[in-house]
Structure 1
């Protein structure tokens, strides 16, 4: 009897694991995006050891979570291939493929911020390799998902949400990672990484900003999307904040990186132009923060169902916070310093809320519950 019961429990556990794997979708990688950006922000507070250590610990946990998620998603393709391949035709879930390279980007950046202290110079080499992988995945998402939208999926303006931006924004997130990486590389290797980063930025930001404009028109004509996709209104802040951060960072590294090139005489002008463009994009992002806040207040006058899409509240605000922190230093603005601290506090509270809700949902569902909005 004991042997029979043991076999029954083992079989039941295997069925639960298999069920959890079959329910795992790539949108859960958004949790690594949000957690990763919070870790990176905390890591900027080097003068506050408690916050820096918290960021480092969170980055390590996030890296482990990313590895686990990769294993689960790989198992899903291995155990339920026919189900997994339907993502190509899914008009919503296919957008979430872009969260995979963006989650990887936060880990790559963490090797630059935390890894050197933990592993030594080898951390830069690891970050370099991961960045090329991240760039390849970002380009694949930026080209592949739109192609699927054109050829295998059915869309309409009324069904449009900020999720359309996810596969496109991955490239500019990789661009920011590349600019950060270049600052740690020898001068001989910087130009290639920076050139690739600018190309990635250009492959993402103009098109993403165009889609943001279309999204505004969609909300004017068709009103707000359903409550199940309430967090998607924040996704437009992602390309704006990341685009601004990329230009600000490139402006900082340009004088050194271009010193031995034919552009050396223009390095100062290029740096100034990048700072100006980054500041303008940041201002646009500030307007979107206000708009998205008002939209969120409107949604939360009634119950808003929780699903993994809530992670959209975290990453876009996180990259905008990083851009604000960078501009506060460059402009030596006390107002921007106060705003950046306010954003950091708000972001940490939002991350904690979403993380706890995600853990609770996962435990209650004995695995990864399929989000309601995937059926839209």
Structure 2
């Protein structure tokens, strides 16, 4: 997820200030992202096939099931990057393929949003005191349909672009509203029980994502909405009125984006201060990658707002945020490699998502067979 977010962030279509070779760097990161996604997918597929029962145990595990949507979140950065790096250099076949990918992703992510929350709501192990922003992950993929469509609707014909945009707006609205409901429980949990434990505080940055991606999607979808198609003009009785309506859409989307973006800024600051306060107690966990992925969306949304207002100052802020995020990405990658080398993560007894340090009887049997649920 983090590598895909960086690939999108480093594209020349995103950055307000570019240099020769930036697009090549972005392509390299994108290729690395595809390699990592393929490798991890093959490894976890081998695990599920080699140790029967681990797939069901994973989906019903109190905490691991929350992360079942992360492959779809990874695809939500891989697919838009096709529009950034592939479509400009390929034929019309890729435009049609992108459209098919969008609708396939739309259907699968909606099914995941319903199914995974059904499992979450029927889990007797989870309590409000355990609430973290990870509870928002099952709706993340469906919400990200907005950014997927915003990236690839432009090259489509109006006949295909409008359904994509409207479907994406529906998905973005549902995702943001569900996130707001989760935010209420999340804030309630912090008021009553305080911040999460130091080892889990990096995951607080997950809350930065939904408002950021919503602001980004609203602006992107408004920019790609066609003014007219043949004799039918959207939001207007003539082509001129259609163009005016398009300007109104962009204005409303930009102002709404700023309105929602502020929530991301607030969550970012709260998460940053919470992590800074516990920095001496924090040890690397895989949730440290939350330092990158949600903040990549936050950065892109900031850049998009700056572009809509034609603000050079905001553009430079976005460039500075990009530079800092590259440093954070490299630092987390180094910490991850060091933790694996020192057997701190991804080793026996170092499960990332062991629930309160305990396992049920069914899980213990799987571990004895070699199919560690938390591996």
Asked if these proteins are the same fold (TM beyond 0.5), I'd say: yes
With over 3 angstroms needed to count, the CA separation of the structure-2 counterparts of 1:363 and 1:261, relative to structure 1, is farther
Matches within 5 A, 1:185-224: 185-224=156-195
Cα distance between partner residues in 1 of 2:293 and 2:137: 11
Would you say 1:298 and 2:277 are equivalent positions?
A: yes
Structure 1 counterpart of 2:68:
97
Q: Is 1:307 the counterpart of 2:307 in the alignment? A: no
Contact 1:254 1:271 in 2 (8 A): no
In the alignment, what sits opposite 1:322?
Answer: 300
Q: Does 1:181 align with 2:152?
A: yes
CA RMSD after TM alignment: 2.2
Quote the residue 1:283 is aligned against. 262
Alignment of 1:1-376 (within 5 A): 33-44=1-12, 45=15, 47-256=18-227, 260-264=232-236, 265=241, 266-300=245-279, 302-365=280-343, 368-369=346-347, 371-376=351-356
Residues 75 and 281 of structure 1: CA distance in aligned 2, closer, same or farther (over 3 Å): same
Alpha-carbon distance, 1:229 to partner: 1.0
In structure 2, the CA distance between the partners of 1:181 and 1:253, relative to structure 1 (3 Å rule), is: same
Contact 1:42 1:55 in 2 (8 A): yes
Q: Is residue 133–residue 204 contact of structure 2 (8 Å, CA) maintained in 1?
A: yes
C-alpha displacement at 1:256, in angstroms? 3.2
Instruction: Say which SS state the counterpart of residue 372 (structure 1) adopts.
Output: coil
Deviation at 1:364, TM superposition (A): 4.9
Larger helix proportion, structure 1 or 2? 1
Partner of 1:25: none
What is the CA distance between 1:365 and its match in structure 2?
A: 4.5
Deviation at 1:367, TM superposition (A): 9.1
| TM-score, normalised by the number of residues in structure 2 | 0.85
State the alpha-carbon separation in 2 of the partners of residues 368 and 119 from structure 1: 40
C-alpha displacement of 1:371:
3.9
| Alpha-carbon shift at residue 257 of structure 1 (Å) | 6.6
1:287 and 1:111 map into 2 onto residues whose CA distance is 32
- Contact preservation (8 Å) 2:303, 2:315: yes
Any conservation in 1 of the 2:146–2:214 contact (CA below 8 Å)? Answer: no
Asked if 2 retains the 8 angstrom alpha-carbon contact of 1:227 and 1:299, the reply is yes
Shift of 1:362: 3.9
Provide the C-alpha distance between the structure 1 equivalents of 2:253 and 2:336, rounded to a whole number of angstroms: 38
Aligned residue pairs, count: 343
**Deviation of 1:135 (Å):** 2.0
Deviates more, 1:364-373 or 1:122-131: 364-373
| In 1: Cα distance, 2:64 partner to 2:315 partner | 38
SS of corresponding position for 1:235: helix
Q: Which residue of 1 aligns with 2:370?
A: none
TM-aligned CA deviation for residue 158 of structure 1: 0.9
